[in-house]
A = this chain, B = another copy of it.
Amino acid sequence: MAVEKFPADDPNDPYAGSGLPALGLRNYWYPVMAAWRLGRKPRAVSVLGEAVVIFRDGSEVFALAERCPHRGARLSQGKCLYPGSGTLTCPYHGWTFSGQTGSCVAKLMEGPDAPGSRRIVTRAYPVRELRGAIWLFVGDIEAPPLEDEVPEVLRASGEWHGFSTWRTYRCNWRIMKDNLCHDMHAPFVHRNSPELMFQPVFPFASRLAAFPLDDGNGIGYVAKDGRPSVDYPGLGTFPPKNETWYRLLKPTGRGKEIDLGAQAVVKHGVKFRQSSLMPGATFIGRPSGNYFALRWVTPIDAESCFYYSWSLFRRQSWWRTLRERAFWIFWVSWAHDWLFSDQDKRILEKVIVGRESHSRTDAGVIAWRRYAADHARRRAASGAKSAQTPAAE
């Protein structure tokens, strides 16, 4: 893999000095797996380079450091041996940890009188279920409520129904997130995807700008003066002539900016067709205010990331909900979440990291990198209470 081959301060590393670490921004919540995939068996995940075990006990979900502090076995190979206790037991010598606090509540092979158990504390991660996903807070400060950190449409499951898909990308999270910064790759890369090929190409050759969001949690993008067809002297037209005869549909408006009277703006304050949210999410609004998409990039390690994508529809009537579900199942999941996103995946996983030559269409990428670096949460100043304490005896 080409990612992360640069030493610190290498002038060829496009992220050098960007303030965006290879392993992701700490002190944020990240979706890490679909909730229904977590059954009785603990599951190991890697998030921001940290190995974590997630397990259920009854209705509760817990997350601990994957490595047992005793002799290094993996807790994900263990199990919740005492249901109802909220504990996970190591597979090797039976050290048993509270999922809540991370403290060792028993060393099963030593008897209840074994000294010092309680002084053993492994790292416990704040963990939540929301909108079908398990979310993990990775960082060094006290976790803020997850609800404060996600868009309204994700929280309010009574008003919104939807679906999610997820994939692993074998590229650094920054390359993946760059791809979602309205950088005009869509009219080019996706122009012949099944979802878009019968429409005119999205307007391009436009002027891009980015503006901070009102809530201080990201930036929104605006593109102006776009055109769906442009002539290049000496080359020809884009899109090329042999790609135009089958574009029979009318534009759906997906490429259009949101105007101030749109329901999305009036009802939800979503002023931008596309925006980037901390710590690496992308929020896509439709002017109707009846459909939103949220895509979240979760760093796995320096060489791969996890991509969680929600499609959210406003609940309007049972038959409309039914229709939307059918639409999603039979069309969106295939045409968008699979084929459309595969077009990006194929390119992103092969990107050769190096010095970049930026241009007009990179305005959104540059704005995101700068914004994220400037607004990333830092470790709490000394004296602040940290959420969890690392393992020690």
- Which chain A residues have a beta carbon within 8 Å of chain B's beta carbons? 2, 14, 51, 66-67, 69-74, 77, 81-82, 85, 87, 91-94, 96, 105-112, 114, 116, 120, 178, 183-185, 187-189, 204-205, 227, 230-236, 238, 240, 346-347, 350-362, 365, 391, 393
CB–CB B72/A361 < 8 A: no
Which of A227, A353, A361 has the largest count of B CB atoms less than 10 A from its CB?
A: A361
Contacts of A96 in B (CB 8 A): 232, 235
Q: How far is the CB of A24 from chain B (nearest CB, A)?
A: 20
Which of A81, A85, A107, A110 has the largest count of B CB atoms less than 10 A from its CB?
A: A110
CB–CB B72/A352 < 8 A: yes
> Given that A92-B189, A185-B93, A188-B93 are contacting pairs, would A70 and B357 also be in contact in the complex, using a CB cutoff of 8 Å?
yes
Q: Closest B-chain residue to A93, C-beta based?
A: B185
> Given that A114-B360, A234-B85 are contacting pairs, would A109 and B184 also be in contact in the complex, using a CB cutoff of 8 Å?
yes
Q: Apart from A91-B189, A108-B188, what are 7 other A-B pairs with CB-CB below 8 Å?
A: A72-B352, A74-B350, A82-B235, A92-B189, A92-B347, A105-B235, A112-B233
CB–CB A111/B359 < 8 A: no
Q: Could you list some 19 contacts between A and B, CB below 8 A?
A: A51-B352, A69-B356, A70-B357, A70-B358, A74-B347, A74-B351, A77-B350, A82-B236, A85-B236, A92-B185, A93-B184, A96-B235, A107-B359, A108-B230, A109-B188, A110-B205, A110-B359, A110-B360, A111-B204
CB–CB A91/B232 < 8 A: no
CA gap between A393 and B359 in the complex, in Å: 10
CB–CB A69/B235 < 8 A: no
CA gap between A72 and B2 in the complex, in Å: 10
The DSSP consensus for interface residues of chain A is loop
Q: How far is the CB of A353 from chain B (nearest CB, A)?
A: 6
> Given that A232-B106, A391-B357 are contacting pairs, would A82 and B352 also be in contact in the complex, using a CB cutoff of 8 Å?
no
CA gap between A187 and B361 in the complex, in Å: 64
CA gap between A73 and B343 in the complex, in Å: 13
> Given that A72-B351, A354-B72 are contacting pairs, would A235 and B189 also be in contact in the complex, using a CB cutoff of 8 Å?
no
Contacts of A205 in B (CB 8 A): 109-111, 114
CB–CB A353/B72 < 8 A: yes
> Given that A109-B205, A111-B205, A240-B82 are contacting pairs, would A356 and B235 also be in contact in the complex, using a CB cutoff of 8 Å?
no
CB–CB A67/B187 < 8 A: no
> Given that A93-B361, A114-B359, A362-B71 are contacting pairs, would A81 and B120 also be in contact in the complex, using a CB cutoff of 8 Å?
no
